[in-house]
Amino acid sequence: MSNKKQLQVSAIESGTVIDHIPAASLFDVITILGLDRIPNQITFGANLDSKKYGKKAIIKVADKFFEPDEINKISLVAPNAHLNIIKDYEVVEKKHVTIPDEIVGIVKCFNPKCICNHESVQTRFRVMDKEELALECHYCEKITTRDELRMV
């Protein structure tokens, strides 16, 4: 390829580009944002080279502008994600995701005996440590850590 600056995933006219997703978290991000259930045009790149993160993924969602509460859900699996808001092919805004104080209905409690793993109640956690990620279960008070994270 002669043009070394060519984008690995085509530019979009309007929408949101979610960049710097850890390669292993691509499909969790798709699930968390419900991208498998919306009609928008979506393009993504998996296992792309990144200077900072080794391998990364990128997702481009046309004509979609996420509310902070919605997009911040991905911070659990993509804490360093960069959001680029695109209008008329230009980046008009850049944002980062932040980890919320409370996580409802995204991840499972690691405790197999927890009521939320047996009854149809939404999981609920208080975020105790945003750096290392420690989630205290509202029901059993046990701590789920990053290594134990499983999506509901």
Binding positions for Zn(2+) are 109, 114, 137, 140
Tokens of 13: 């006219």
Beta-bridged to residue 144, according to DSSP, are 135
C-beta separation of 72 from 116 below 8 A: no
Residue with tokens 């509901």: 152
Chain-centre distance for alpha carbon 109: 18
Among ligand CTP, Zn ion, none, residue 111 binds (CB under 5-8 Å by kind): Zn ion
Among ligand CTP, Zn ion, none, residue 84 binds (CB under 5-8 Å by kind): ligand CTP
Instruction: Output phi, psi for 55, to 5 deg.
Output: -115, 135
- Those residues whose C-beta lies under 8 Å from the C-beta of residue 118, and which sit 6 or more positions away, are none
What is the footprint of Zn ion within residues 72-111 (CB under 5 A)?
A: 109, 111
Tokens of 118: 């047996």
Residue 140 touching Zn ion (CB under 5 A): yes
Residue with tokens 């008009």: 92
What is the footprint of ligand CTP within residues 46-65 (CB under 6 A)?
A: 58, 60
| Segment near Zn ion (CB under 5 A); pick from 24-32, 79-87, 99-107, 112-120 | 112-120
The number of beta carbons lying within 10 Å of the beta carbon of residue 115 is: 12
Nearer to Zn ion, 17 or 114 (CB): 114
Among ligand CTP, Zn ion, none, residue 117 binds (CB under 5-8 Å by kind): none
| Segment near ligand CTP (CB under 6 A); pick from 22-30, 78-86, 97-105, 139-147 | 78-86
Interface with Zn ion by CB under 5 A: which residues? 109, 111, 114, 137, 139-140
